[in-house]
Structure 1
Amino acid sequence: MSTSAATTSRGLEVRSIDYVPLSERHGKVSHIGPLWFMSNAQIATLATGLISITSGGNLIWSFIAIVLGILIGTFFMAAHSSQGPRLGLPQMIQSRPQFGYVGALLVWLFAYIQYAGFNIFNSVLAGEAVGGAISKEQSSNPLWIWVVTIVAVVIALVGYDLIHTFERYLMYVTVAMLILLTISAVVNIHIPASQFDLSHFNAVAFFGQLGVAAGYQISWAIYVSDYSRYLPPTTSTNSTFQWTFWGSALGGIWVMFLGSWVAVSAKDIGTNTVEDLKHVADLLFPGFGIIALIVAALGLVSVTALNMYGGSLTLISSIDSFVKVRPTLGIRIVTLVVTAAISLLFALFATANFLGDFNAFLLLILYLFIPWTAVNLTDFFIVRKGHYAIAEIFDPKGIYKRWGWPGITAYLLGFVVMIPFFDVAGFYEGPVSKALGGVDISLFIGLPVAAVAYWLMTRHIDVAAEQELAHRQAREIEEAAAAHELP
């Protein structure tokens, strides 16, 4: 058997929502850098760089909005990553101390919607990329959506170690492709001087791009510690944060920049990201477009695998809220198949309207998870300072109770105060956003309100008593693991 006790003799990961004992901790913190770089180095990220350009903004302000949005969103996302080594738990199960054993279903439902939504979009794009590389006529062939889904499920089924290894090696190929693609874009695409004029500021386009970029990064927060939870608990918080932050931020900035650059010259902006990618690649040398699409498709397969893996963990967590789940390989297989089936069904029937509404979907994710990230991080870094009684998280009668009303109330309050600031083109425009001419600053409203509200409502918690219980249970869990009493 390998150094990873997370797998069976068949090489398949068996752990899911359960605690990872110290004897099974392994890996290098540097391995999470390539994983989060690859999470952004794919076609879906390219499409998010179009927002400012399609809204009437110019290139320089699009670049500034992308950088600010990604840095803001990635800061919170990377902070969650540091929870993995400390707790040895997947991300979503960590919501129970704030929202309660049953109350956490509120955020798990939204998380599962996100997994499904991203999987639909990514599998359709990957199918188009594979089809476009083989034959233009096959670009809409549902066969490739099936292939992408099946391969992603296999990767997710093998689990944590294969995901890390796959992303690490794929990064080398992707970086080479992106360097060549960037050279082609810079050399062959003419950008008018007006695109670099700082006096041409469009507030709606700027904040729209900033919000989508931030939302895109924050959307990873719901599963970021899934991929750091096997690291040794001695892994420093700073190193986990840094590898996650810079891996994700650099991948996002690079690819979104490319999206904006290409959008400036595109005749029909954003109508077909796959064709735009192939066209720009072929400008460098004939045939490079096919290579770029194949590499891009592999990137989308890897991201789809991440969503399958996270969706499975979230579904298991949800089931465990009603019926006690024994975390076995069997339950992983069942939940992976269910997650894949849901994503595949919608992907096969996805319309052009769905793909066109992807940006609205990203904003919805931002709205739903800003209050959650505020509550979760405030609890971890300020209220309980990283000390949790692991066994209590799996006990419906434990200290975290069935309903965590401070977390639920703070979340709802944070979300409600954001509503007047929402602006989702074609769907809803809040009164404050309308008064601001369509500018959406809800991110800067909901986050501090939810965080402060949660902190105020948890001042009564006996943190010292919880920490003592956490230390005692940690010793008991490790002793049980050493005695092979854990499943």
Structure 2
Amino acid sequence: MPAFVSTWGPKLGMRQMVISRYAFGYYGVILCCVLNLIGMCGFSILNCILGGQALASVLNGNLNWTVGIVVIGVVSLLVSFCGGSVLTWYERVAWFPVIITFAIALGLGGKHLGDVTFEPATARGVLSFASTLAGFTVTYTPLGSDYTTYFREDVKSWKIFLYSYFGFILSIIPLQCTGAAVIASASSVPLWEQSHTNGDVGGLLEAMLEPVHGFGKFLTVLLSLSVIGNVAIVPRYFFSALGTAIVIALAVVGQHRFYETLVNFLGLLGYWSAAYVMVIFLEHLYFRKGRFDLYDTTAWNTPSLLPTGIAAVAAVIFAFGPVVPCVDQIWYVGPVAETTGDIGFEVAFVASAIFYFVFRWIEVRWRGGL
């Protein structure tokens, strides 16, 4: 999904939230912007917690998590001041020490993986876990075309799609599988178990690298700094400073409840992202027949020439009616989810598609055009 919308950037020359105006309208897209902003701040909070924990673990308790979080947040802020070109360069090289660190960690700790016997997976557990993973990946969709806006219009869409798709696949799936294997095996290694029990994800990685002593600490520091590219997103001084202050404050609050913070956040984010995806996909593929020439790019900032947004906003809101009973989260389990597990993500897809199709069809008939 995020790979597909990445192909829209060169064709329309607009960022994803601006493109969303062609479904949500000039004013309705404000809702998407707010939810997207919350999502990005949420991911930044998680990154700061992980980076801060990893940095603190290197000094054997002489640096607490709070200070580590502040250091990561401030360094990220400084990088954001450097602008998009520096951030882009940083992201091009930051992956290398990450993959080296994980390769060494797996080489050192691989002998401990798979030592635990697991209970058979249940359908409910699989669906709930899948919903969490989907909530992580699909949330890139509201940013999809932001990274391709300045590409030439004649760039092949299939190339952008494949580059984006495999970029997501190769960076997400191996790390998630590795993380699942390490957490599952932590109970068989006392040092790992101690970090895991304390919610110290960064310390868990440092424990895996402990056999190489100082070099392991060096790798942990590099890994803690690698999250900077995920935090320093917007090169706007005021918004960067304000956002960093909010992120640091909330990261400090949630630092000792990382797993709960992660699951709660990704679960909520996944539901709205599913509804958003279906609205823009249906608008593009059905109402605009997949043709970019049906987007009046000169009307992007003229409310009267854009859709009212009522259909899209109503579809997202109405979709949460059937979604709520299907939610299975730490803070709430719906009556349907008690049997099926978390299928709120899937229901959000279907419900938003049905509601948007009906509401948008009425709007098009009423206005006499898109």
Q: 8 Å contact 1:170–1:299 — kept in the other structure?
A: yes
Go from structure 1 to structure 2 and tell me whether the alpha carbon gap of 1:423 and 1:349 turns closer, same or farther (over 3 Å shift): closer
**SS of corresponding position for 1:263:** helix
Go from structure 1 to structure 2 and tell me whether the alpha carbon gap of 1:141 and 1:423 turns closer, same or farther (over 3 Å shift): closer
Q: Who is 1:453 aligned against?
A: 355
Report percent identity of matched pairs.
Answer: 21
Given the alignment, which residue of 215, 218, 221 partners 1:294?
A: 221
> CA separation in 1, counterparts of 2:322 and 2:46?
30
> CA separation in 1, counterparts of 2:64 and 2:38?
26
Give the residue type in structure 2 aligned to 1:448: V
- Once the two structures are TM-superposed, the CA of residue 345 in structure 1 deviates from its matched residue by 2.9
Q: 8 Å contact 1:278–1:293 — kept in the other structure?
A: yes
Unaligned ranges ≥5, structure 2: 188-192
Given the alignment, which residue of 193, 203, 208 partners 2:123?
A: 203
- Once the two structures are TM-superposed, the CA of residue 157 in structure 1 deviates from its matched residue by 3.5
Q: Who is 1:273 aligned against?
A: 201
- Once the two structures are TM-superposed, the CA of residue 247 in structure 1 deviates from its matched residue by 0.9
Q: Who is 1:189 aligned against?
A: 112
Question: After the TM superposition, which residues 115-130 of structure 1 pair with which residues of structure 2 at under 5 Å, given as runs?
Answer: 115-130=40-55
- Once the two structures are TM-superposed, the CA of residue 217 in structure 1 deviates from its matched residue by 0.5
Unaligned ranges ≥5, structure 1: 1-75, 313-331, 468-487
Higher helix share: 2
- String of CA shifts for 1:182-205, please: whole Å, max 9, x gaps: 22232x31423744x8xx232232
Given the alignment, which residue of 170, 175, 180 partners 2:104?
A: 180
Give the residue type in structure 1 aligned to 2:300: I
> CA separation in 2, counterparts of 1:406 and 1:167?
38
Q: Who is 1:410 aligned against?
A: 315
Q: Who is 1:89 aligned against?
A: 14
> CA separation in 2, counterparts of 1:193 and 1:127?
29
Q: Who is 2:163 aligned against?
A: 243
Q: State the TM-score, normalizing by the size of structure 2.
A: 0.87
> CA separation in 2, counterparts of 1:154 and 1:382?
44
> CA separation in 1, counterparts of 2:144 and 2:73?
21
> CA separation in 1, counterparts of 2:108 and 2:140?
30
Q: 8 Å contact 1:129–1:139 — kept in the other structure?
A: no
Does 1:147 pair with 2:53?
no
Q: 8 Å contact 1:278–1:289 — kept in the other structure?
A: yes
Go from structure 1 to structure 2 and tell me whether the alpha carbon gap of 1:190 and 1:390 turns closer, same or farther (over 3 Å shift): closer
**SS of corresponding position for 1:192:** coil
> CA separation in 1, counterparts of 2:161 and 2:296?
23
- Once the two structures are TM-superposed, the CA of residue 454 in structure 1 deviates from its matched residue by 2.3
- Once the two structures are TM-superposed, the CA of residue 354 in structure 1 deviates from its matched residue by 6.0
Go from structure 1 to structure 2 and tell me whether the alpha carbon gap of 1:159 and 1:85 turns closer, same or farther (over 3 Å shift): farther
Q: 8 Å contact 1:184–1:281 — kept in the other structure?
A: yes
Give the residue type in structure 1 aligned to 2:342: D
Give the residue type in structure 2 aligned to 1:232: R
Q: 8 Å contact 2:254–2:261 — kept in the other structure?
A: no
- Once the two structures are TM-superposed, the CA of residue 337 in structure 1 deviates from its matched residue by 2.2
Larger displacement relative to structure 2 (427-436 or 383-392): 383-392
Go from structure 1 to structure 2 and tell me whether the alpha carbon gap of 1:206 and 1:238 turns closer, same or farther (over 3 Å shift): same
- String of CA shifts for 1:353-403, please: whole Å, max 9, x gaps: 46533211110100121101111122233322234223322123x3115x4
> CA separation in 2, counterparts of 1:173 and 1:347?
24
Q: 8 Å contact 2:65–2:255 — kept in the other structure?
A: no
Q: CA RMSD in A?
A: 2.5
Q: Who is 1:365 aligned against?
A: 269
- Once the two structures are TM-superposed, the CA of residue 246 in structure 1 deviates from its matched residue by 0.9
Go from structure 1 to structure 2 and tell me whether the alpha carbon gap of 1:101 and 1:297 turns closer, same or farther (over 3 Å shift): same
Go from structure 1 to structure 2 and tell me whether the alpha carbon gap of 1:305 and 1:183 turns closer, same or farther (over 3 Å shift): same
**SS of corresponding position for 1:431:** coil
Q: Who is 1:394 aligned against?
A: 301
Q: 8 Å contact 2:272–2:316 — kept in the other structure?
A: no
- Once the two structures are TM-superposed, the CA of residue 224 in structure 1 deviates from its matched residue by 2.6
- Once the two structures are TM-superposed, the CA of residue 408 in structure 1 deviates from its matched residue by 1.2
Aligned residue pair count: 356
Question: After the TM superposition, which residues 162-181 of structure 1 pair with which residues of structure 2 at under 5 Å, given as runs?
Answer: 162-181=86-105
> CA separation in 1, counterparts of 2:168 and 2:15?
19
Go from structure 1 to structure 2 and tell me whether the alpha carbon gap of 1:278 and 1:407 turns closer, same or farther (over 3 Å shift): same
- Once the two structures are TM-superposed, the CA of residue 349 in structure 1 deviates from its matched residue by 3.9
> CA separation in 2, counterparts of 1:117 and 1:383?
33
Q: 8 Å contact 1:160–1:227 — kept in the other structure?
A: no
Q: Who is 2:190 aligned against?
A: none
- String of CA shifts for 1:18-74, please: whole Å, max 9, x gaps: xxxxxxxxxxxxxxxxxxxxxxxxxxxxxxxxxxxxxxxxxxxxxxxxxxxxxxxxx
